[in-house]
Amino acid sequence: MPWTGVLIVLDFRFVVSASVFTMATAMVNSTQVAAQETEVSEDAEALGEVILVTGVRPAYRGDFEALEIPQAEQIISTQLLEDNNALDLDNALDLSASVARQNNFGGLWNSFAIRGLVGDENLPSGFLVNGFNAGRGFSGPRDLAGIEAVEVLKGPRAALYGRGEPGGTVNLLTKSPRFETAGEILFQAGSYDFYRGDVDLQTTLGSAVGVRFVGFYEDAGSFRDTIETERFGLFPSVAINISDASRLVYELEYTRQELPFDRGVLALNGELGVLPISRFLGEPADGPNITESFGHQVEFQHDFSDSWSALLGFNYRDTSLTGSATEAELSGSRQQLFVDGRTLTRQRRFRDYSGEYYVFRGELTGEFETGGVQHRIIIGADTDRFENDQVFSRVRSRPLSSDPSLQELQALDIFDPQYGRFPLPEPTPLTDRLEIQAATGVYFQYQVSLGERFDLRLGGRYDEFSDEQNNRATNRIFETNDNEFSPQVGAVYRFTPEIAIYATYGENFRSLSGATFDGEPFDPKKAEAFEGGIKFESSDGRLLATATLFSIQQSNILIGDPVNQFFLISAGEASSRGAEFDLQARLFSGTDLWVSYAYVDAQIDEEIIDANFLVPIVPGSRILNVPDHSLNVQLAHTTQVLRRNVRFGGGVLYVSDRLGEVGTDFELPAYTLARLFAEADLTENVAIRLDVDNLFGEEWYPNSLAELRVQPGAPRTVRVGARFSF
């Protein structure tokens, strides 16, 4: 086969947490210990890398140079995020060709495939924040306020991170205090009544305490009829240098979003474009869905010496999603549109979802030499618990064979929609379930340098985990216990100080939400992967390039139960193989280039029954929403005009056609999007900015679930902004 106005939230939890934050700051105000200085290496500056406080090592990662790591990685830096005016996680991940957008649940969460494979389709895709799992739960699409950089860590990472996405891991690095007094305020306005304000303030309290406050507020219309959103977030943090060797960081997160549930447009008889991309097919009277996220993160690092460090951390997140939505009916026996070509049958749903997650972890990292051989070790353990509480109600039409009325159909004329034509029906209970997933794991990584050219990495993680299903609708409780060992082995050989080849093998697993006909939790989804490639990093750090080949086998994907109709089992198999090329460079003074290309051949490997539509899928079938080819190129240049800095540039994103509905030949068309930006300093402290996205106004569709649920992309949009810094 070929490799073919900010809201004031009177929430008791927030008030208490803000008080704790203030008290902690005040308690250490009198501590007079020299603050740790921030240093930026010339190489990092050349590539626009993340500015990190010297000596703070990222958890689960160790201290390795790019050419010492036997896996492909991308760091989407602060500068690159700013160049693209990337405001949410989807925008950031578009910069990585290895990541493909998936069904985003009506715009209520982030969902993506890395290297063509997805984890749990019933939950948001997993991602990390500072090494802590933050993708679980129902906090809405992730805003990038408070985020310094985005890491795309390709390939299985379970040997260190534990349960995660099969094709790789996304890790967000937050903006922690930098022990300086500075600030920045940004205002933006743009097409479709878009208004947004961001603030980033930091200061010190004495010489040992750094405080930072990041926040945003956004009020926006949309190119979609009747759609309006309101979102805000608060991200305060405090860092305490307890001594020259010890540091404590606390971060709080609170976000609230009001987002209408929007399944997008539809294709009529497989044809897109019969409706304007602005056409809303739900009911405005349903109002917005409301998501909230409330979290704490605490990390303590102690350096025993220049070579050995310990890290202790705790993370807690409480999330919720509540609201109603009227959505297109997908059942052919109930869908009037398939009969007359204009009357859309819909169903109304109510969701009350909540998720509570916490994790404790501890890690020891160090290095030593024996006989001229360098050894680097990571040893750690963690324990976590995730409570997934779902209450779901639905009302739908009787089958067409029973001659239901237009009101029962909740009918909408797609060519002449009359919203509110019928009273909104009251959904009846369908799901009332509490699922509790818990796990405890220990992990290690050992990398030995055998001479100056060859590095060998060995790693593994042992997890014991449980899954308890409490079906409150039937008063049935089931619990399973299992364990997994996730190994990793890799090697790097440096031909020269600038060129290295590498190869690695690793395994991965992710627990799945839900249960079988018998009420048993699903077996975890598993993956094993091979990867090999070549890396080049120039001696001055101005160019870093990676070319990669990969192959991944995935098992225990959810499929339809062949015995018990309308139920699922975890038994399917899929695979993905492909090639990637990533480059980031400073071509010459002030000019930055980013290139990311991926070829992905992802397919179903055996005959199965699809989990969503219960239709047969033959081996070799493509995986939903995964393109064969993706390319993202970004170019930016900084110069001076009248002794003031001016930065300008643009980029192109190409995504090839993708399967739009399983079990059919319906495809989403390929698209090419171009963008331009320019930012100029008016004074030392004031800058103005212009962004034009989808420059040529291309009609594009980033993802779909089915022909009747296709997400359209935004037409040409223009935004202007002003930045005030001090």
Structural domain includes residue 180: no
First to last CA, the chain: 58
Structural domain includes residue 174: no
CATH number at residue 287: 2.40.170.20
Res 28: pLDDT? 35
Cβ–Cβ under 8 Å, residues 563 and 597: no
Structural domain includes residue 4: no
Structural domain includes residue 404: yes
Closest CA to 527 of 556, 548, 549, 504: 556
Spell out, as residue ranges, where the chain has pLDDT lower than 70: 1-60
Cβ–Cβ under 8 Å, residues 170 and 232: no
Structural domain includes residue 459: yes
In the chain, the number of structural domains is 1
Q: What is the pLDDT of residues 309-368, one digit of tens each?
A: 999 999 999 999 999 999 999 999 999 999 999 999 999 999 999 999 999 999 999 999
Res 25: pLDDT? 38
Structural domain includes residue 335: yes
State how far the Cα of 102 lies from the Cα of 594, in Å rounded to an integer. Answer: 24
Provide the residue range defining the domain that includes 216: 12-165+190-586+596-725
Q: What is the pLDDT of residues 222-263, one digit of tens each?
A: 999 999 999 999 999 999 999 999 999 999 999 999 999 999
E strand or H helix at 408? helix 406-409
pTM of the predicted model as reported, rounded to 2 decimal places: 0.90
Structural domain includes residue 408: yes
The contacts of residue 130 (CB under 8 Å, 6+ apart) are 58, 59, 171, 172, 173, 174, 251, 297, 299
Structural domain includes residue 250: yes
Res 60: pLDDT? 64
Res 566: pLDDT? 73
The contacts of residue 127 (CB under 8 Å, 6+ apart) are 89, 110, 133, 134, 135, 142, 169, 170, 171, 172
Closest CA to 547 of 522, 580, 585, 507: 580
